Copies of this chain bind each other. A is one copy, B any other.
Amino acid sequence: MGGTQSQRPRVLGSVRRPVTRADVAQLAGVSTAVVSYVLNDGPRPVAPRTAERVRQAVALLGYRPNASARALRRGRTETIGLILGDSLNPLFTEYTSQLTKAAAMRGEALLIRDSRQDATVEAQIVEQLIDRQVDGLLFASPYSSSVNPHALRAAGIPSVLIDCPGPVPGRLSVGPAAQEGAERLVDHLIEHGRGRIALVVGERGFGHPDPRELGWQFAQHRSQLRPGPVIRVPFTREGGYTAGRQLTRAGEGVDAVFASNDLQAAGVLRALHEGGARVPDDIAVVSFDGTRESEFCWPPLTVAQQDLPRMAEVAIDLLHSEPDAPGRHVRVPTTLVTRASCGCPGVHA
């Protein structure tokens, strides 16, 4: 920013020089090493009286260790990079919030960047984050599994894939138990009399095969239902809107829609309302994610809710696991939250 350390104006009588360990050492009448030992609790014992003097000096001077110097020396910054494919998706907003919390528990902070789902941008961001010496990287972006693993291993930086549909060889990842969640949602629709259920999903889906799509298929198959139409649109509100318009126009007798995420669901809802369809009477809508927004849609959405606090903890834990550990994927169950949009009896707005 404007004022650098060196040219800081000297206020008379108080050259506002930051307090360093040397000041503390001098005041406490010890060497700087002892200050270090006291503050870091080891690796060697310090006489209680000396330690006390040091602590008093620290308090008196308001000394705070310099993070840059510490990072340089220790080779760790206590900072984690988080790369999001779409930072405006409320799912990732809520995810980020939980991740920040989980990281803070370990004294780590997050540097967050948005790759806008662009592989080139993502590569740049990863480079910038590595330059900043992050201790690890979290990816919630479709390109993450392709670009980086080798460079990351070479740099000795652990990484974890977030919101990952399934195992990726040699990599650590977390994700919702999406297929089960999707099945429960679709089963729920079927149990309450819906017979033709459309699927709205991203163009490339979530991985291959897409567990949400599988769940949707299996549930219908189990009930010997003819599979409803699949509409492929981007994972955005606008995408969902497009899908919804298609549904209202086509009128293929669809009486329920399963949207793959809350954003698409919001778009579908808007299109259905505009098209004059009554939700849930004419057509039910359910979706995956269960962000806070889903509760305040109209009608409130029945969803398979992801357990973000849990997944965030798992992600941070995985990041701290053995550096040479083999790949591993953790699936976290979702919860079925029934609200008005599925039209099931007993749920009033």
Contact = CB atoms under 8 A, between A and B. Distances in A.
Interface of A: 1-6, 8-9, 16, 64-69, 71-72, 74-77, 79, 87-88, 90, 93-94, 96-97, 100, 104, 109-114, 127-128, 130-133, 135-136, 154, 156, 158, 237, 241, 266-267, 269-270, 273-274, 292-293, 295-300, 319-324, 349
A242 to B, nearest CB: 13
A111 B114 contact: no
A182 B67 CA distance: 45
B2 A158 contact: yes
Contacts of A295: 237
A298 B270 contact: yes
4 closest A-B pairs by CB: A5-B75, A3-B323, A68-B71, A68-B72
Q: How many of these chains are in the complex?
A: 2
A137 B255 CA distance: 51
Given A2-B322, A79-B111, 16 more contacts: A1-B321, A3-B156, A4-B74, A9-B324, A16-B154, A16-B156, A68-B71, A68-B77, A69-B72, A72-B72, A104-B113, A109-B111, A110-B112, A269-B298, A273-B299, A274-B349
A298 B67 CA distance: 49
Contact of A64 (B87, B131, B324): B131
A97 B87 contact: yes
21 contacts: A1-B319, A2-B158, A3-B158, A4-B74, A6-B75, A16-B154, A67-B133, A69-B72, A71-B71, A87-B97, A88-B90, A88-B93, A88-B97, A88-B292, A104-B113, A109-B113, A109-B128, A110-B111, A112-B112, A270-B298, A273-B299
